[in-house]
Structure 1
Amino acid sequence: MSRPQEIPLRIDYLEAVLTAVAVDQPDPAVSDVALVCHPHPLHEGSMNNKVVTTLVRMARDLGLPALRFNFRGVGASALVWDEGRGEVDDAELAAAELRRRYPNARLWLMGFSFGGYIAAKLSERQSVAGLVLIAPAASRFDMTAVQSQVPTLVAFNRDDDVVTPVSMQAWVDAQHTPPSCVIDEVGGHFYHGRLGPLKRAVQAWLEAQRR
Protein backbone atom coordinates (compact mmCIF):
# COMPACT_ATOMS: atom_id res chain seq x y z
CA MET A 1 0.00 0.00 0.00
CA SER A 2 1.31 3.46 -0.88
CA ARG A 3 2.47 5.68 1.95
CA PRO A 4 1.70 9.40 2.26
CA GLN A 5 4.41 11.69 0.92
CA GLU A 6 5.18 15.37 1.32
CA ILE A 7 4.45 16.76 -2.14
CA PRO A 8 5.61 20.35 -2.86
CA LEU A 9 3.02 22.34 -4.79
CA ARG A 10 2.64 25.69 -6.47
CA ILE A 11 -0.95 26.91 -6.21
CA ASP A 12 -0.98 30.03 -8.37
CA TYR A 13 1.14 32.44 -6.29
CA LEU A 14 1.24 30.23 -3.17
CA GLU A 15 3.92 27.83 -1.99
CA ALA A 16 2.36 24.73 -0.44
CA VAL A 17 2.99 21.15 0.66
CA LEU A 18 0.43 18.36 0.34
CA THR A 19 0.88 15.39 2.67
CA ALA A 20 -0.90 12.56 0.89
CA VAL A 21 -0.55 9.44 -1.20
CA ALA A 22 0.64 10.65 -4.59
CA VAL A 23 -1.89 10.23 -7.40
CA ASP A 24 -1.87 11.44 -11.00
CA GLN A 25 -5.49 12.59 -11.18
CA PRO A 26 -8.34 13.73 -8.92
CA ASP A 27 -9.29 11.06 -6.39
CA PRO A 28 -13.07 10.86 -5.79
CA ALA A 29 -12.67 8.06 -3.23
CA VAL A 30 -11.17 10.29 -0.50
CA SER A 31 -13.83 11.20 2.08
CA ASP A 32 -12.09 13.86 4.19
CA VAL A 33 -9.26 16.36 3.75
CA ALA A 34 -7.61 18.96 5.99
CA LEU A 35 -6.39 22.48 5.26
CA VAL A 36 -4.01 23.87 7.89
CA CYS A 37 -3.31 27.62 8.22
CA HIS A 38 -0.14 28.94 9.85
CA PRO A 39 0.44 31.73 12.42
CA HIS A 40 1.18 35.41 11.81
CA PRO A 41 3.34 36.05 8.73
CA LEU A 42 5.03 39.10 10.28
CA HIS A 43 6.09 37.17 13.38
CA GLU A 44 7.98 34.33 11.69
CA GLY A 45 4.85 32.28 11.08
CA SER A 46 5.10 29.77 8.24
CA MET A 47 3.76 26.42 7.11
CA ASN A 48 6.72 24.82 8.89
CA ASN A 49 5.54 25.96 12.32
CA LYS A 50 5.57 23.04 14.78
CA VAL A 51 1.89 23.31 15.71
CA VAL A 52 0.97 23.33 12.01
CA THR A 53 3.10 20.28 11.26
CA THR A 54 1.65 18.53 14.32
CA LEU A 55 -1.85 19.03 12.90
CA VAL A 56 -0.66 17.73 9.53
CA ARG A 57 0.76 14.59 11.15
CA MET A 58 -2.47 14.10 13.06
CA ALA A 59 -4.46 14.26 9.82
CA ARG A 60 -2.00 11.93 8.10
CA ASP A 61 -2.33 9.39 10.91
CA LEU A 62 -6.10 9.40 10.36
CA GLY A 63 -5.66 8.89 6.63
CA LEU A 64 -6.61 12.43 5.61
CA PRO A 65 -4.69 14.28 2.88
CA ALA A 66 -3.50 17.52 4.50
CA LEU A 67 -2.48 20.73 2.77
CA ARG A 68 -0.38 23.43 4.41
CA PHE A 69 0.72 26.57 2.61
CA ASN A 70 2.59 29.83 3.08
CA PHE A 71 0.47 32.95 3.15
CA ARG A 72 1.34 35.71 0.70
CA GLY A 73 4.79 37.16 1.29
CA VAL A 74 6.02 34.14 3.27
CA GLY A 75 8.71 31.83 1.87
CA ALA A 76 8.25 31.47 -1.87
CA SER A 77 4.66 32.77 -1.87
CA ALA A 78 4.26 35.99 -3.85
CA LEU A 79 2.44 39.24 -2.94
CA VAL A 80 2.65 41.04 0.41
CA TRP A 81 0.99 41.04 3.82
CA ASP A 82 -2.61 42.30 3.62
CA GLU A 83 -3.56 42.62 7.30
CA GLY A 84 -5.68 39.47 7.26
CA ARG A 85 -7.93 40.40 4.34
CA GLY A 86 -6.01 38.90 1.42
CA GLU A 87 -4.86 36.05 3.61
CA VAL A 88 -8.44 34.73 3.70
CA ASP A 89 -8.26 34.75 -0.11
CA ASP A 90 -5.01 32.77 0.12
CA ALA A 91 -6.71 30.11 2.25
CA GLU A 92 -9.67 30.01 -0.13
CA LEU A 93 -7.30 29.43 -3.05
CA ALA A 94 -5.65 26.56 -1.15
CA ALA A 95 -9.07 25.10 -0.31
CA ALA A 96 -10.01 25.18 -3.98
CA GLU A 97 -6.94 23.12 -4.80
CA LEU A 98 -7.94 20.49 -2.25
CA ARG A 99 -11.46 20.38 -3.67
CA ARG A 100 -10.06 19.97 -7.17
CA ARG A 101 -7.88 17.05 -6.12
CA TYR A 102 -10.52 15.41 -3.90
CA PRO A 103 -13.89 16.38 -5.40
CA ASN A 104 -16.05 14.31 -3.03
CA ALA A 105 -14.18 14.99 0.21
CA ARG A 106 -15.41 16.91 3.22
CA LEU A 107 -13.12 19.82 4.11
CA TRP A 108 -11.85 20.31 7.67
CA LEU A 109 -10.33 23.75 8.29
CA MET A 110 -7.58 23.98 10.88
CA GLY A 111 -5.43 26.86 12.02
CA PHE A 112 -3.05 28.01 14.72
CA SER A 113 -3.10 31.55 16.16
CA PHE A 114 -3.53 33.94 13.18
CA GLY A 115 -4.22 30.81 11.14
CA GLY A 116 -7.10 30.02 13.47
CA TYR A 117 -8.59 33.44 12.77
CA ILE A 118 -8.21 32.85 9.02
CA ALA A 119 -9.77 29.38 9.22
CA ALA A 120 -12.74 30.79 11.13
CA LYS A 121 -13.20 33.60 8.59
CA LEU A 122 -12.94 31.18 5.67
CA SER A 123 -15.66 29.00 7.20
CA GLU A 124 -18.06 31.89 6.55
CA ARG A 125 -17.37 31.58 2.81
CA GLN A 126 -17.03 27.84 2.39
CA SER A 127 -19.11 24.77 3.07
CA VAL A 128 -16.90 22.86 5.50
CA ALA A 129 -17.22 19.83 7.76
CA GLY A 130 -15.66 21.40 10.82
CA LEU A 131 -13.11 23.72 12.40
CA VAL A 132 -10.05 23.10 14.56
CA LEU A 133 -8.81 26.37 16.08
CA ILE A 134 -5.62 26.23 18.13
CA ALA A 135 -5.07 29.39 20.21
CA PRO A 136 -7.06 31.50 17.72
CA ALA A 137 -5.93 35.13 17.65
CA ALA A 138 -9.10 36.54 19.19
CA SER A 139 -7.35 39.40 21.02
CA ARG A 140 -5.39 40.50 17.96
CA PHE A 141 -7.99 40.24 15.18
CA ASP A 142 -11.70 40.92 15.33
CA MET A 143 -13.47 37.58 15.61
CA THR A 144 -16.54 38.93 17.39
CA ALA A 145 -18.79 38.70 14.31
CA VAL A 146 -17.70 35.16 13.44
CA GLN A 147 -20.26 32.52 14.34
CA SER A 148 -19.25 28.93 13.76
CA GLN A 149 -21.91 27.01 11.86
CA VAL A 150 -20.12 23.65 12.00
CA PRO A 151 -18.62 21.34 14.64
CA THR A 152 -15.72 23.25 16.17
CA LEU A 153 -12.84 22.41 18.48
CA VAL A 154 -11.02 25.24 20.27
CA ALA A 155 -7.79 24.54 22.16
CA PHE A 156 -5.68 26.94 24.19
CA ASN A 157 -3.60 27.19 27.35
CA ARG A 158 -4.37 29.40 30.33
CA ASP A 159 -0.78 30.65 30.41
CA ASP A 160 -0.86 31.90 26.80
CA ASP A 161 1.18 35.12 26.71
CA VAL A 162 0.51 36.02 23.05
CA VAL A 163 -3.28 35.76 22.74
CA THR A 164 -5.21 36.51 25.91
CA PRO A 165 -7.06 33.46 27.23
CA VAL A 166 -9.94 35.76 28.22
CA SER A 167 -10.47 36.73 24.56
CA MET A 168 -10.50 33.13 23.40
CA GLN A 169 -12.92 32.12 26.13
CA ALA A 170 -15.15 35.09 25.26
CA TRP A 171 -15.31 33.97 21.63
CA VAL A 172 -16.20 30.44 22.71
CA ASP A 173 -18.91 31.77 25.05
CA ALA A 174 -20.39 33.93 22.27
CA GLN A 175 -21.03 31.00 19.94
CA HIS A 176 -24.66 29.97 19.50
CA THR A 177 -23.53 26.35 19.29
CA PRO A 178 -20.90 25.78 21.99
CA PRO A 179 -17.59 24.48 20.57
CA SER A 180 -15.74 21.58 22.12
CA CYS A 181 -12.82 22.87 24.16
CA VAL A 182 -9.42 21.55 25.20
CA ILE A 183 -8.10 24.02 27.77
CA ASP A 184 -4.90 23.25 29.65
CA GLU A 185 -3.09 25.18 32.36
CA VAL A 186 0.40 25.23 30.85
CA GLY A 187 2.12 25.12 27.47
CA GLY A 188 2.05 28.78 26.54
CA HIS A 189 0.97 29.97 23.13
CA PHE A 190 3.28 27.61 21.26
CA TYR A 191 2.49 24.43 23.21
CA HIS A 192 6.03 23.99 24.50
CA GLY A 193 6.36 20.37 25.59
CA ARG A 194 2.64 19.82 25.00
CA LEU A 195 2.42 18.97 21.31
CA GLY A 196 1.86 15.26 22.00
CA PRO A 197 -1.20 15.79 24.20
CA LEU A 198 -2.53 18.39 21.75
CA LYS A 199 -2.20 15.98 18.83
CA ARG A 200 -3.98 13.20 20.72
CA ALA A 201 -6.81 15.50 21.82
CA VAL A 202 -7.45 16.83 18.32
CA GLN A 203 -7.21 13.35 16.84
CA ALA A 204 -9.75 11.96 19.31
CA TRP A 205 -12.17 14.80 18.58
CA LEU A 206 -11.82 14.43 14.81
CA GLU A 207 -12.27 10.67 14.99
CA ALA A 208 -15.48 11.17 16.94
CA GLN A 209 -16.80 13.74 14.45
CA ARG A 210 -16.16 11.44 11.50
CA ARG A 211 -18.09 8.47 12.89
Structure 2
Amino acid sequence: MNKNTKHFTMQGHAGLMEGLIDLPLDGKKPRGIALVAHPHPLYGGTMENKVTQTLARAFVALDYTVARINFRGVGQSEGEHDRGHGETDDMELLYEHMVEKFPDLPVALAGFSFGTFVQSQLAKRLEAAGKPVQGLVLVGAAAGKWQMPEIAPNTILIHGENDDTIPVQAVFDWARPQDVPVVVIPGADHFFHRKLNHIKSWVIALWLGRAQHKDDPEDA
Protein backbone atom coordinates (compact mmCIF):
# COMPACT_ATOMS: atom_id res chain seq x y z
CA MET A 1 0.00 0.00 0.00
CA ASN A 2 1.01 3.64 -0.39
CA LYS A 3 -0.01 6.83 1.37
CA ASN A 4 -2.86 7.23 -1.11
CA THR A 5 -4.37 3.85 -0.19
CA LYS A 6 -7.56 4.11 1.85
CA HIS A 7 -9.52 1.36 3.63
CA PHE A 8 -13.29 1.33 3.27
CA THR A 9 -16.29 -0.88 3.98
CA MET A 10 -19.52 -1.23 2.05
CA GLN A 11 -22.62 -3.37 2.20
CA GLY A 12 -22.53 -6.49 0.06
CA HIS A 13 -25.22 -9.05 -0.66
CA ALA A 14 -23.92 -11.30 2.14
CA GLY A 15 -22.89 -8.63 4.65
CA LEU A 16 -20.19 -6.03 4.98
CA MET A 17 -17.26 -6.09 2.57
CA GLU A 18 -13.89 -4.52 3.28
CA GLY A 19 -11.87 -2.94 0.54
CA LEU A 20 -9.04 -0.69 -0.48
CA ILE A 21 -9.01 2.32 -2.77
CA ASP A 22 -5.75 3.48 -4.35
CA LEU A 23 -5.77 7.05 -5.65
CA PRO A 24 -3.52 8.37 -8.42
CA LEU A 25 -0.18 9.65 -7.19
CA ASP A 26 0.72 13.30 -6.63
CA GLY A 27 -2.91 14.38 -6.47
CA LYS A 28 -3.45 13.74 -10.18
CA LYS A 29 -6.98 13.72 -11.53
CA PRO A 30 -8.02 10.12 -12.26
CA ARG A 31 -8.36 9.11 -15.90
CA GLY A 32 -10.54 6.16 -15.06
CA ILE A 33 -11.58 3.56 -12.51
CA ALA A 34 -10.05 0.08 -12.25
CA LEU A 35 -11.60 -2.73 -10.23
CA VAL A 36 -9.20 -5.55 -9.31
CA ALA A 37 -10.26 -9.04 -8.22
CA HIS A 38 -8.10 -11.40 -6.14
CA PRO A 39 -7.44 -15.17 -6.44
CA HIS A 40 -9.40 -18.03 -4.88
CA PRO A 41 -10.58 -17.28 -1.31
CA LEU A 42 -10.35 -20.90 -0.21
CA TYR A 43 -6.67 -21.10 -1.13
CA GLY A 44 -5.38 -17.98 0.58
CA GLY A 45 -6.47 -15.39 -1.96
CA THR A 46 -6.92 -11.85 -0.63
CA MET A 47 -7.02 -8.32 -1.98
CA GLU A 48 -3.41 -7.97 -0.79
CA ASN A 49 -2.16 -10.90 -2.86
CA LYS A 50 1.06 -9.83 -4.62
CA VAL A 51 -0.28 -10.19 -8.15
CA THR A 52 -3.44 -8.32 -7.18
CA GLN A 53 -1.33 -5.54 -5.69
CA THR A 54 0.80 -5.46 -8.82
CA LEU A 55 -2.29 -4.97 -10.98
CA ALA A 56 -3.39 -2.16 -8.67
CA ARG A 57 0.02 -0.50 -8.97
CA ALA A 58 -0.07 -0.77 -12.74
CA PHE A 59 -3.37 1.07 -12.95
CA VAL A 60 -2.29 3.67 -10.39
CA ALA A 61 0.70 4.31 -12.67
CA LEU A 62 -1.82 4.85 -15.47
CA ASP A 63 -3.54 7.46 -13.27
CA TYR A 64 -6.58 5.33 -12.50
CA THR A 65 -8.39 5.18 -9.18
CA VAL A 66 -8.23 1.51 -8.18
CA ALA A 67 -10.65 -0.39 -5.94
CA ARG A 68 -10.29 -3.88 -4.49
CA ILE A 69 -12.45 -5.86 -2.09
CA ASN A 70 -11.91 -9.00 -0.06
CA PHE A 71 -14.36 -11.59 -1.30
CA ARG A 72 -16.88 -13.22 1.05
CA GLY A 73 -15.32 -14.83 4.10
CA VAL A 74 -11.90 -13.23 3.55
CA GLY A 75 -10.45 -10.81 6.11
CA GLN A 76 -13.24 -8.67 7.49
CA SER A 77 -15.65 -9.38 4.62
CA GLU A 78 -18.70 -11.26 5.80
CA GLY A 79 -20.45 -14.22 4.20
CA GLU A 80 -19.25 -17.51 2.70
CA HIS A 81 -17.55 -18.43 -0.55
CA ASP A 82 -20.14 -18.71 -3.37
CA ARG A 83 -18.14 -20.30 -6.23
CA GLY A 84 -17.84 -17.03 -8.09
CA HIS A 85 -21.55 -16.27 -8.38
CA GLY A 86 -22.06 -14.16 -5.27
CA GLU A 87 -18.58 -12.73 -5.74
CA THR A 88 -19.60 -11.43 -9.16
CA ASP A 89 -22.70 -9.88 -7.58
CA ASP A 90 -20.54 -8.18 -4.97
CA MET A 91 -18.09 -6.93 -7.58
CA GLU A 92 -21.02 -5.42 -9.45
CA LEU A 93 -21.97 -3.57 -6.27
CA LEU A 94 -18.40 -2.28 -6.09
CA TYR A 95 -18.75 -1.13 -9.71
CA GLU A 96 -21.94 0.77 -8.84
CA HIS A 97 -20.32 2.27 -5.74
CA MET A 98 -17.28 3.50 -7.66
CA VAL A 99 -19.13 4.98 -10.65
CA GLU A 100 -21.34 6.87 -8.22
CA LYS A 101 -18.32 8.10 -6.26
CA PHE A 102 -16.30 8.92 -9.40
CA PRO A 103 -18.88 9.69 -12.13
CA ASP A 104 -18.20 10.05 -15.84
CA LEU A 105 -15.02 7.97 -15.82
CA PRO A 106 -14.36 4.83 -17.90
CA VAL A 107 -14.09 1.58 -15.97
CA ALA A 108 -11.49 -1.17 -16.39
CA LEU A 109 -11.70 -4.65 -14.87
CA ALA A 110 -8.66 -6.69 -13.86
CA GLY A 111 -8.29 -10.01 -12.10
CA PHE A 112 -5.89 -12.76 -11.18
CA SER A 113 -6.69 -16.50 -11.29
CA PHE A 114 -10.17 -17.00 -9.73
CA GLY A 115 -10.56 -13.24 -10.06
CA THR A 116 -10.42 -13.58 -13.85
CA PHE A 117 -13.58 -15.69 -13.75
CA VAL A 118 -15.35 -13.06 -11.65
CA GLN A 119 -14.26 -10.15 -13.83
CA SER A 120 -14.98 -11.80 -17.16
CA GLN A 121 -18.47 -12.68 -15.89
CA LEU A 122 -18.98 -9.10 -14.72
CA ALA A 123 -17.79 -7.72 -18.07
CA LYS A 124 -20.43 -9.81 -19.88
CA ARG A 125 -23.12 -8.74 -17.42
CA LEU A 126 -22.30 -5.05 -17.79
CA GLU A 127 -22.16 -5.34 -21.57
CA ALA A 128 -25.62 -6.93 -21.61
CA ALA A 129 -26.87 -4.05 -19.46
CA GLY A 130 -25.55 -1.49 -21.95
CA LYS A 131 -22.64 -0.49 -19.72
CA PRO A 132 -19.58 -1.97 -21.46
CA VAL A 133 -16.28 -1.56 -19.66
CA GLN A 134 -13.27 0.16 -21.17
CA GLY A 135 -11.16 -2.97 -21.06
CA LEU A 136 -10.31 -6.21 -19.32
CA VAL A 137 -6.96 -7.45 -17.95
CA LEU A 138 -6.74 -11.13 -17.00
CA VAL A 139 -3.61 -12.58 -15.38
CA GLY A 140 -3.45 -16.35 -14.90
CA ALA A 141 -6.85 -16.72 -16.58
CA ALA A 142 -8.80 -19.61 -15.06
CA ALA A 143 -9.45 -21.40 -18.34
CA GLY A 144 -10.18 -25.07 -17.76
CA LYS A 145 -10.78 -24.46 -14.04
CA TRP A 146 -13.94 -22.38 -14.41
CA GLN A 147 -16.44 -21.87 -17.22
CA MET A 148 -14.82 -18.75 -18.64
CA PRO A 149 -17.09 -16.76 -20.97
CA GLU A 150 -16.07 -15.18 -24.24
CA ILE A 151 -14.09 -11.97 -23.86
CA ALA A 152 -13.53 -8.85 -25.94
CA PRO A 153 -10.82 -9.05 -28.62
CA ASN A 154 -8.80 -6.28 -26.95
CA THR A 155 -8.59 -8.11 -23.61
CA ILE A 156 -5.07 -8.24 -22.17
CA LEU A 157 -4.18 -11.84 -21.27
CA ILE A 158 -0.96 -12.55 -19.34
CA HIS A 159 0.10 -16.04 -18.30
CA GLY A 160 3.12 -17.83 -16.88
CA GLU A 161 4.98 -20.33 -19.04
CA ASN A 162 5.40 -22.76 -16.13
CA ASP A 163 1.96 -22.33 -14.55
CA ASP A 164 1.12 -25.76 -13.09
CA THR A 165 -2.22 -24.58 -11.65
CA ILE A 166 -3.68 -23.41 -14.95
CA PRO A 167 -1.53 -24.78 -17.80
CA VAL A 168 -0.82 -22.22 -20.50
CA GLN A 169 -2.14 -24.69 -23.09
CA ALA A 170 -5.60 -24.44 -21.52
CA VAL A 171 -5.47 -20.67 -21.97
CA PHE A 172 -4.39 -21.07 -25.60
CA ASP A 173 -7.26 -23.49 -26.21
CA TRP A 174 -9.74 -20.98 -24.76
CA ALA A 175 -8.26 -17.87 -26.39
CA ARG A 176 -7.57 -19.36 -29.85
CA PRO A 177 -11.20 -19.55 -31.12
CA GLN A 178 -11.65 -15.96 -29.96
CA ASP A 179 -8.43 -14.81 -31.68
CA VAL A 180 -7.23 -13.13 -28.47
CA PRO A 181 -3.42 -12.92 -28.09
CA VAL A 182 -1.75 -14.26 -24.95
CA VAL A 183 1.38 -12.72 -23.44
CA VAL A 184 3.45 -15.57 -21.97
CA ILE A 185 6.08 -14.70 -19.36
CA PRO A 186 9.01 -17.15 -19.77
CA GLY A 187 9.83 -19.10 -16.62
CA ALA A 188 6.89 -17.69 -14.64
CA ASP A 189 4.83 -19.94 -12.37
CA HIS A 190 1.21 -19.36 -11.39
CA PHE A 191 2.08 -16.74 -8.78
CA PHE A 192 4.74 -15.03 -10.91
CA HIS A 193 7.44 -15.33 -8.26
CA ARG A 194 10.26 -12.92 -9.18
CA LYS A 195 8.31 -11.97 -12.31
CA LEU A 196 5.85 -9.41 -10.93
CA ASN A 197 7.66 -6.55 -12.65
CA HIS A 198 6.76 -8.11 -16.00
CA ILE A 199 3.06 -7.97 -15.17
CA LYS A 200 3.19 -4.28 -14.35
CA SER A 201 5.31 -3.43 -17.38
CA TRP A 202 3.14 -5.36 -19.82
CA VAL A 203 -0.15 -4.06 -18.44
CA ILE A 204 1.03 -0.46 -18.71
CA ALA A 205 2.52 -0.90 -22.18
CA LEU A 206 -0.42 -2.82 -23.61
CA TRP A 207 -3.01 -0.52 -22.04
CA LEU A 208 -1.33 2.52 -23.53
CA GLY A 209 -1.00 0.64 -26.80
CA ARG A 210 -4.74 0.00 -26.85
CA ALA A 211 -5.37 3.74 -26.63
CA GLN A 212 -2.91 4.49 -29.43
CA HIS A 213 -4.40 1.75 -31.61
CA LYS A 214 -7.89 3.17 -31.12
CA ASP A 215 -6.73 6.63 -32.13
CA ASP A 216 -4.76 5.48 -35.19
CA PRO A 217 -6.79 6.30 -38.33
CA GLU A 218 -5.01 3.54 -40.26
CA ASP A 219 -6.53 0.99 -37.87
CA ALA A 220 -10.05 2.40 -38.02
Query: TM-score, normalization: structure 2?
Result: 0.85
> 2:71 touches 2:87 (CA, 8 Å); kept in 1?
yes
Partner SS state of residue 182, structure 2: strand
Matching of residues 158-169 of structure 1 within 5 Å: 158-169=161-172
Aligned length: 199
CA distance in 1, matches of 2:136, 2:33: 12
Matching of residues 29-178 of structure 1 within 5 Å: 30-126=30-126, 127-143=132-148, 146-149=149-152, 151-175=154-178, 178=179
- Which residue of 2 is the match for residue 9 of structure 1? 8
Partner SS state of residue 73, structure 1: coil
> 2:35 touches 2:110 (CA, 8 Å); kept in 1?
yes
> 2:109 touches 2:123 (CA, 8 Å); kept in 1?
yes
Q: CA deviation at 1:183?
A: 0.7
Q: CA deviation at 1:4?
A: 6.6
| Paired amino acid for 1:82 | D
- Which residue of 1 is the match for residue 216 of structure 2? none
Q: 1:182 to 1:21 in 2, by over 3 A?
A: closer
Partner SS state of residue 47, structure 1: coil
| Paired amino acid for 1:128 | V
- Which residue of 1 is the match for residue 215 of structure 2? none
Matching of residues 19-30 of structure 1 within 5 Å: 19-20=22-23, 30=30
Unpaired runs of 5+ residues, structure 2, are 127-131, 213-220
Q: CA deviation at 1:185?
A: 2.5
Q: CA deviation at 1:21?
A: 5.4
- Which residue of 2 is the match for residue 179 of structure 1? 180
| Paired amino acid for 2:137 | V
Query: TM-score, normalization: structure 1?
Result: 0.89
Q: Where do 4+ consecutive residues of structure 1 move more than 4 Å? A: none
Q: CA deviation at 1:156?
A: 0.4
- Which residue of 2 is the match for residue 25 of structure 1? none
Residue deviations 1:85-114 (CA, integer Å, cap 9, x gap): 111111111111111111111111000000
| Paired amino acid for 1:141 | W
- Which residue of 2 is the match for residue 203 of structure 1? 204
Q: 1:21 to 1:192 in 2, by over 3 A?
A: closer
Residue deviations 1:146-171 (CA, integer Å, cap 9, x gap): 11136201010121011121211111
* Residue identity (%): 32
Partner SS state of residue 125, structure 2: coil
